[in-house]
Structure 1
């Protein structure tokens, strides 16, 4: 009930024309080696809950998909219950036939054990799932002031049948601005992932599946889902190494801009320290002035990144759902 109250307060506050989302990418190294950094991130979110509308996590919650790491992740996110809504994604490190097997098969038993449908479905903003009792593909409905949102969180390498389901969900909610949250979509050169890039879902064991179970990369997801709907306006992802960041604005079939962002700070990303040193992203949407500001902050270090790739503003953004021409 507390989250419902928060929504009501938000709807009556002077901040009607603003929304703040926190992106919490690939926490895998924290779960494996530095749980205190994940705790610092989540504690900061809990402390700032009155100023945050939503937390979006982009997958690879764990490094080795084992019970110890899942216990650490579960313990951290429990602190947000009743304070701020959060949405999780499944990454390639969160699935497999056994701990340490990364997406060789589409098995997410431990993810669904530690974040069970029976509990997650009772939280305010929860909308529904693709598969019964599984959180791998789910949608959430919330409001920030007068602005209505649909958040779709999709599995690593979304299957053909999952994309078909996602199209149906978006079509039923044309009055809502849609955010797609998924593990792999953008590449570090600020383009969508294609067959020319590393770390595509097709390169893992699940990539061998065919027919309705065939996986899709970023470019395929764009063509089959994102660009087709006037109200899908944001896509957030992680997964990719190199610089770990990328930003792309593309025009959909309705002539509206779609804001696509990659952020990843895990071990293996250039310059990474302690698996990312707690860097997270803060997105502030200003509906009155049509702008999107992006800041990168570490609650662990208690400092902001100042370089342009991590601290920037998009002016003249079109943030309303829009209608088909």
Structure 2
């Protein structure tokens, strides 16, 4: 059985906001160590940016994660800071608008990743699944948006 690694990036939001060099260093390290450490996937747990509506943060995040293109399959969770999660007077269970995330990190940017399996909703990158084999096991990783809906859509029941 092979030894392998999964790199995990939790809450890089403050790096995207005020320390992009640290975020870039993380992406660079993962890319440079993919072969030596047999990294099969890099998983960002969400909160890729601190404020979804601050446009300067998105290039910092996409630059750091984009280094992995062609080197390491990566998977992104959508955190509450990555979307309009709680507009004034509403609860997160009602809104969860990930339009900014989908503009900056669109589904089309993940089609060519060897692990990419699909998204829901179909044309968005809010929720995705990825598959790969490592250590003699087939793996499935679900990247689900923060605060999933409390009701099921007809598509989710199929």
Shorter-normalised TM range = 0.7 to 0.9
Say if 2:45 is the partner of 1:58: yes
Query: What does residue range 222-301 of structure 1 map to in structure 2 within 5 Å?
Result: none
Q: Which runs of 4+ in 1 moved over 6 A?
A: none
Give 1:82 deviation, angstroms.
0.9
Residue number among 126, 129, 149 corresponding to 1:139 in the alignment: 129
What is the total number of aligned residue pairs between the two structures?
149
- Give 1:77 deviation, angstroms: 1.0
Aligned Cα root-mean-square deviation (Å): 2.4
- Per the alignment, residue 130 of structure 1 pairs with 120
Q: CA deviation at 1:88?
A: 0.5
TM-superposition CA deviations, 1:70-114 (whole Å, max 9, x none): 111011111101111111011111111799xx9583211111111
Higher relative contact order (CA 8 A, sep 6+): 2
Measure how far apart 1:122 and its partner are: 2.5
- 1:45 correspondence with 2:35: no
2:70 corresponds to: 82
SS at match of 1:80: coil
**Partner residue in 2 for 1:96:** 84
> Is residue 17 of structure 2 the alignment partner of residue 27 of structure 1?
no
State the TM-score, normalizing by the size of structure 1: 0.43
Unaligned runs of at least 5 residues, structure 1: 1-15, 169-325
Specify the alignment match of 1:18 in structure 2: 3
| 2:4 match: secondary structure | strand
